[in-house]
Structure 1
Amino acid sequence: MNLIRDRNHTPKNALKNSELRYRRLFETAQDGILILNGDTGIIDDANPFLLDMLNYRLDEMVGKQLWEIGLFRDRQLSESAFLKLRTEGYIRYDDLPLETKKGVRREVEFISNLYQVDGRMVIQCNIRDISGRKVLEAKLRQAEKMEVVGRLAGGIAHDYNNILTSTLLQLSVLLNDSAHTENTKRALRQLQEDARRAASLTRQLLLFSRLQVIGRAPLNLPEVLEQLLEMLRRLMSKHVLLEPDLGKCSIWIEADRTLIEQAVTNLCLNAQDAMDPEGGQLGLAIRLVELDEEAPLLNPLARAGLFACLEVSDTGCGIDAFTLPHLFEPFFTTKDVGKGTGLGLSLVYGIAKQHNGWVEVSSTVGVGTTFRVFLPALRNAPPPKIEAPAAAIRGGIESILLVEDERPVREMIALALRSRGYRVFEAASGPMAIDLWSAQAGAFDLLFADMRMPHGMTGTQLYERFKAERPTLKGVISSGYSDTNFNLQGLAGSGLWFLPKPYDIGTLALTVRNCLDQTNPPGAAPSAAPSPSPRG
């Protein structure tokens, strides 16, 4: 036995075993390996991973100099790199472009070493494909760029909403003045409508920047889509024919209007991209469906019940079987770098899920694709909402601490509230509000504060501070947007209401009165300006 063991461990067998181990590593390595003659640059060997990566056969590479084959097309660079390697014994390229036999560009990490084997010089090149990593890095840069653009858009929308709030409040005052002639009032109403259309534009900016406050309300889906059509038509290229089929019946859901509009817009833009550059037909339809207990058998996400089915279809290129399972993955895109973030469909999926719904997709390559968004539907239409005219809304004698850093907005709010009998104390910042609170010994019934103010203090922080001293205090927080994702669902029982900018006097007066009376559950106040789609 010892004799056999000794024979197995002879230098000859050890060398053979070492060669076998190296060959096994060479054959199974998950990086490309290329072996060259160190004196001539002629290729001696290439491992299977490299051959598969570059679409070459072994006989197409062995026996040729490195710069003779297509993947190293820059002969001068290859020859100079070869000379440098012979001199220095090591060379590295962190990002080297290669070209496969089929003409596909590959970004690789290229490391070469020169060493001696049995008296001759050998070069080993280790080649790692980093194309996927480069794509991910490009997507990350694009996402970061979009984040910056989104923040810029949100900031612009916030500033415009302050301007529009002041404008709408002043127009409300003028419209309530009986001294104006009917012609003057007609002009003022037109200005008010223009301001509301401008408000819908800022809403689109907030939608893009994802800084719009989230809040659900009953929506008649066909009506929402009808108002969105004009904007969609402006977004579509002249080669895309938008064909809506919204029906004649109301279909009610409880949803966040801006998120639903975002989902529809994303789906339509995705459909348009699928039909570029020739164009085609883009269908937008809505229908009411009742799903039975067998629905989950066809789709695990589905369930029995009454649903609004929103359908967006196109006559584009279609989606292959490999791509379909990845459609809703964040950053997954089949578009060229710079033409998409890969977030559009993942946002649609997320919005549907937020509303207790789901998304289905069917597609045929060369024919087109259909997306269906299922959202829970209300079985009964909500009672009609009766908006009281601003003049008819009851005022009061309560004391209000008003905190707003924008002087024109603050002055108009104070004017509107004082005209209804309220005692209003004004502050332009959090510290000023704290001083006023102390001076008045906290004798306030309501805090009306902007969400974001100078000196790093928010309206909610002020409310929490004052509420601890005066438990009966009520509060209204207002903002052009909320980058803290103001939680409307968490307001129940807190006495705190949220009023999104812009708003008119009627909405302001109604919100303040309801908050003081606590006649409705806290949350987003009714919008002063229904959100019509912007018109040119």
Structure 2
Amino acid sequence: MIRFATPVFDSKGKKLGIVILNYFGSKMIKRLKDRATGTSTEISLVNSDGYWFLSPNPEDNWGFMYEEKKDKTFGNKYLKEWERISKEESGQFYTENGLFTFSTVYPIKDAEKLTASLIGLKRQTSGILKAKSHYWKTISRVTPKNLQQRENEITTRLVKVYLGALALFSIISCFVLRQVTLRKEAESTLIKSKLNLQAIVKSVGEGIISIDSNSKILFVNEEVCRIFDYSEKELLNKDVQALLPEHYRSSRAARLKKLVSEAPPKILGSRIELEGLHKNGKFFPIELRVEETIDESGERFSTVSIRDITERIKAEKELKHLAAAIDQAEEAIVVTDRDAIIQYVNPAFERITGYKREEAIGQNPRVLKGGKHGELFYKELWDTLVSGKRWRGNFINKKKNGEIFIDEASIAPIFDSYGEITSYVAVHRDITKNIKLERQIRQSQKMDAIGKMAGGIAHDFNNILTAIIGYTEIAEADLPEKSDSRKSLGEVLKASNRAKDLVKQILTFSRATEHELKPIQLHLIIKESLEFLRASLPTTIEIHSNIEKGSDIILGDPTQISQIIMNLCTNAEHAMRKKGGILIVNLEPVEVDEEFAKTHKGLKTGDYMRLTVSDTGSGIDKEIIEHIFDPFFTTKPKGEGTGMGLSLIHGIVVSHGGVVTVYSEVGQGTTFNIFLPRAEVEHIEKEKKEDLIPEGSESILLVDDEEAIALMSKKALERLGYKVVSTTNAKEALDLFKESPEKFDIVLSDVTMPGMTGVDLAKELMNIRKDIPVVLSTGYSSIVNEKQAKEMGVREFIIKPFIKRTLANVIRKVLDKDK
């Protein structure tokens, strides 16, 4: 195949591309080879520069394609002969190199004639390709040796002149016959090529219309007929404007006509998008391109290629909508090639990861690796993808700023028409907030369950403590003031009150109750807590403390502050249990400035008390230190820790307006710093001690389903002078009251009772007698709180366990108020 090429420009001189002409000369070369086979004649085919396409010596062929063959030309080998052959169309002459016979072939000119014949026009290349500047030479050569040999044979065989003449005549006849055969073969090939080209033009995927300078249609192919739904006969000799809507004919069609008649000659024109007019009258989008031709008389003709772009326009709109949707999507969308190199990311990717598009493209997605997954994780991922399957899962990835986030991803391979994977598309969603919310919900559910459990425990435990405290007070009152037994009972009361505070703390932690903050001195609570701890710590652990007593007043709950100290010191003891060590507890006032507050979330500038608890124990690994305040997180062996201690501490500190920080080194120990805001109080007024418990002589109706509490309360109140009627059944109490409503001055009832609650009993009693004072008591109740009880008319609400003084004061307060 011989290829000719030339650049193509539009009317403005802008380069549009290259026109390539391929000349298939293989058949002609084969025929020339066949002609030379078995003869003494050398056949050559050379181009206009003298380079061989076919040479007697195959090594000389195609010299123009190889640097080392640049001198392998016919002219260099036969200089004198080439000067004549290159200037003349055909001929025959003899030189010392032999007998040369030659003729000239013009492949481009022949191709032009063939193309023009397909549409019935005489076309020319408008000067772009000079047909006669590109030619080939066919040359035959008989060597002098071969000629001399023939001459000798003729001389020595004159007797055979007739036979020689006859042989010569036969040779000439064969030659003529071969020439005729070759011409017929060429004509047949030309006809076949013409038919093939006609078939191609008719079946090509573009519509092709040939029009003259007056816009009359000279030729249409089958695609044009299909696009506009006309037959070929209907379109021939019709004005091309008939294929355009009316509103285009005065503008676009005129422009097209002007283009055809006045534009400078060119091979390719620019593409134009406009509307076409279907035979049924409907408009549809088309794209056309104009090629111009000038015949020998100078008249212009145009070939218009047309495409129906309805589907393309529709696809473009869909792509625009898809692109807009991808750009607006909340999920990050990433497209990579088959080697996992990022080719595209959408704006959501930039928002989620912090990487700009230009930073991400060309990178591998592993730039987001958070270091939390092992090699097996990524191997399983890629094994899934390369097998052609979709992968779904979660990544723990890292943003550009180093922030870790949880990434829910779906990655799928993209296939080409052959079923080969060409790329991958991934959809990512930052679910960090969702995971945290789920954890919070689970935590809330846990706390709700704990709250319900704590409420149940508190109710039962407080009832038990009520009986313990009540009977202890009764027993204590029966003993002499300085009796050892009385002192022992005093310790029982202290332990019972501590148990009462512990229950209160459980309820506070589970949010089953609220705590009340009041001015307290930290050093007193710390001192009391440390004294309690000394007895329980092993001798291998020393306690060093530095507690400043001045200006240490805060607004807090003494029980909760004590719990902070107890939990921190218990954890320190556990960390030093094996090898022993030093427990350090310090308390000092500090001033938090703006710079320090910025680096400690939750702190505000101002005066604080800093409580420091340090140990020299095993320390905390950095991998888990960020989780130590999570509920139920523990590193202790099963049965030695619940994971609630530090979570409780964190909750208490935050509820007091403070902050807790931790620093630890493995093998060196741990330090907790707790910052609690100081209260603007100079001193705390001491509670007035009441020497005497108030007494009375009124009649009391006492109701409690716990028999021990009912008997204890009855005995305690009777010792104070009251007349008490007690019962363990609410309905029985209601019947007693109905019999003589005026008999009772006050009613004291438990809240949670079987059959009828204290709330329902109070309502019934007040319906019978509106002015009857009712006091409710409970160890814990989810039915009613103090505020709700008072809103319904209950005078007072007492939380169990209570001491005799508390009960006496409440009853006296209610009765005296009515008087």
TM-score normalised by structure 1 residue count: 0.64
Preserved contact between residue 72 and residue 99 of structure 1 (Cα < 8 Å): no
> Is 2:692 aligned against 1:372?
no
Provide Cα deviations, 1:285-321, integer angstroms capped at 9, x if missing partner.
265x9x9xx99999899799xx874544769999x9x
The C-alpha deviation readout for 1:11-33, integer Å capped at 9, x for no partner, is: 57874993897499479874253
Give the match's secondary structure for 1:405. Answer: coil
User: Paired residue for 1:285?
Assistant: 587
2:723 to 405, 410, 423: 423
- Which stretch shows the higher mean deviation, 427-436 or 250-259? 250-259
**In 2, are the aligned partners of 1:35 and 1:45 still within 8 Å (CA)?**
yes
| Distance across 2 between alignment mates of 1:359 and 1:173 | 42
Aligned to 1:517: 816
Look up the match of 1:323.
none
Confirm or deny: 8 A CA contact 1:92 1:111 kept in the other structure.
yes
Deviation at 1:211, TM superposition (A): 3.6
- Asked if structure 2 preserves the Cα contact closer than 8 Å seen for 1:283 and 1:311, the reply is yes
Q: Which residue of 1 aligns with 2:688?
A: 385
- Residue in structure 1 matched with residue 655 of structure 2 by the alignment: 351
Q: Does residue 159 in structure 1 map to residue 460 in structure 2?
A: yes
Q: Contact between 1:260 and 1:351, CA under 8 Å: does it hold in 2?
A: no
Letter in 1 for 2:778: S
**Which of the pair has more CA radius of gyration?**
2
Give 1:156 deviation, angstroms: 2.4
**Equivalent pair of 1:263/1:351 in contact (CA under 8 Å):** no
Structure-to-structure mapping, 1:495-506, within 5 angstroms: 496-506=795-805
Query: Greater shift after overlay, 487-496 or 404-413?
Result: 487-496
- State whether residues 211 and 482 of structure 1, in contact with CA within 8 Å, keep that contact through their aligned partners in structure 2: no
Match of 1:477 among 746, 758, 776: 776
1:247 to 548, 560, 563: 548
Question: How do residues 166-245 of structure 1 correspond to structure 2 at under 5 angstroms?
Answer: 166-177=467-478, 182-212=483-513, 214-215=515-516, 219-229=520-530, 244-245=545-546
The 3 A distance-change label for structure 1 pair 248 and 303 is closer
Q: CA RMSD in A?
A: 6.0
CA distance in 2, matches of 1:236, 1:5: 94
Whether the 8 Å contact between 1:213 and 1:485 is mirrored in structure 2 is no
- Please tell me whether the aligned partners of residues 399 and 405 of structure 2 are also in contact (alpha carbons under 8 angstroms): no
> Cα–Cα, structure 1 residues 117 and 468, in superposed 2: closer, same or farther, change >3 Å?
farther
Match of 1:527 in 2: none
Is 2:341–2:362's contact at 8 Å kept on the other side of the alignment?
no
Cα 1:518–1:374 shift into 2, 3 Å: farther
Using the alignment, how far apart are the partners of 2:571 and 2:272 within structure 1? 69
Partner in structure 2 of residue 445 of structure 1: 745
CA contact (8 A) 1:213 1:481 kept: no
Counterpart CA distance in 1 for 2:781 and 2:565 is 23
Q: 1:415 to 1:269 in 2, by over 3 A?
A: closer
SS of match in other structure, 1:448? strand
- Aligned residue for 1:415, secondary structure, equals helix
Pair 1:380–1:152, CA change in 2 (3 A): same
8 Å CA contact retained: 1:271, 1:282: no
In structure 2, the CA distance between the partners of 1:493 and 1:165, relative to structure 1 (3 Å rule), is: same
Is the partner of 1:376 in helix, strand or coil? coil
Worse-matched range after superposition: 443-452 or 342-351: 342-351
Shift of 1:163: 1.5
- Aligned equivalents of 2:560 and 2:784: distance in 1? 14
User: How many angstroms apart in 2 are the aligned matches of 1:236 and 1:34?
Assistant: 62
**Greater Cα offset, 439-448 or 25-34:** 25-34
Identify the residue that residue 531 of structure 1 maps to in structure 2. Answer: none
Matched residue type, 1:373: L
Q: Report the alpha carbon displacement of residue 189 of structure 1 after superposing the two structures with TM.
A: 4.0
Deviation at 1:146, TM superposition (A): 4.0
Cα distance change on mapping 1:206 and 1:235 into 2, 3 Å: farther
* Residue aligned with 1:228, SS: helix
Deviations 1:96-146 (A, max 9, x none): 5678899x9986544455666566566644344545534543453344334
Structure 1 residue 43: Cα displacement? 4.5
How far apart are 1:70 and its partner, in Å? Answer: 7.7
AA matched with 1:479 = T
**Percent identity between the two aligned chains:** 22
Task: Give 1:497 deviation, angstroms.
Answer: 2.9
CA contact (8 A) 1:268 1:312 kept: no
CA contact (8 A) 1:242 1:284 kept: no
Other-structure match for 2:29: none
- Match runs of 1:273-312 below 5 Å: 283-285=585-587, 309=609, 311-312=611-612
Contact persistence 2:710–2:726 (CA under 8 A): yes
Query: What is the deviation of 1:421?
Result: 2.9
- Equivalent-residue separation in structure 2 for 1:240 and 1:133 (angstroms): 45
Q: Is the 8 A contact 2:789 2:797 kept in 1?
A: no
Q: 1:458-504 CA distances to partner (integer Å, 9 max, x unpaired)?
A: 44x54455446545433433222354684479969977334332233
Q: Provide the rounded CA distance (Å) in 2 between the counterparts of 1:224 and 1:208.
A: 19
- Unpaired runs of 5+ in structure 1? 63-68, 86-90, 321-325, 353-357, 520-536
Structure 2 segments unaligned to the other structure (5+ residues): 1-250, 256-270, 275-284, 288-308, 367-372, 636-641
CA deviation string 1:5-52 (max 9, x = no partner):
946996578749938974994798742535566xxxx64755444996
Q: CA deviation at 1:77?
A: 7.1
The alpha carbon displacement at 1:454 in A equals 2.8
How far apart, CA to CA, are the structure 2 residues paired with 1:466 and 1:96?
62
The 5 Å alignment of 1:305-324 reads 309=609, 311-312=611-612
Cα distance, 1:413 vs. partner?
0.7
Distance, in Å, in 1 between the alignment partners of 2:632 and 2:362 is 34
Query: Which residue matches 2:450?
Result: 149
Q: How far apart, CA to CA, are the structure 1 residues paired with 2:758 and 2:385?
A: 61
Aligned residues: 477
What is the SS of the residue equivalent to 1:395? Answer: coil
Q: 1:488 to 1:247 in 2, by over 3 A?
A: farther
1:436 aligns with 2:736: yes
Greater alpha carbon shift after TM alignment, 221-230 vs 358-367: 358-367
Tell me, yes or no, if the aligned pair for 1:111 and 1:127 is still in contact at 8 Å.
Answer: yes
Q: Residues 24 and 256 (structure 1 numbering): CA distance in 2 closer, same or farther, change over 3 Å?
A: closer
Q: How does 1:110-121 map to 2 (within 5 A)?
A: 110-111=409-410
Letter in 1 for 2:587: A
Task: Give yes or no for contact 2:326–2:333 (8 Å, CA) kept in 1.
Answer: no
C-alpha distance in 2, partners of 1:418/1:331?
A: 51
Q: Identify the structure with bigger relative contact order (alpha carbons < 8 Å, sequence gap 6+).
A: 1
Partner Cα separation in structure 1 for residue 516 and residue 652 of structure 2: 17
Quote the offset at 1:406 in angstroms.
1.2
**Which residue of 703, 711, 728 maps to 1:403?**
703
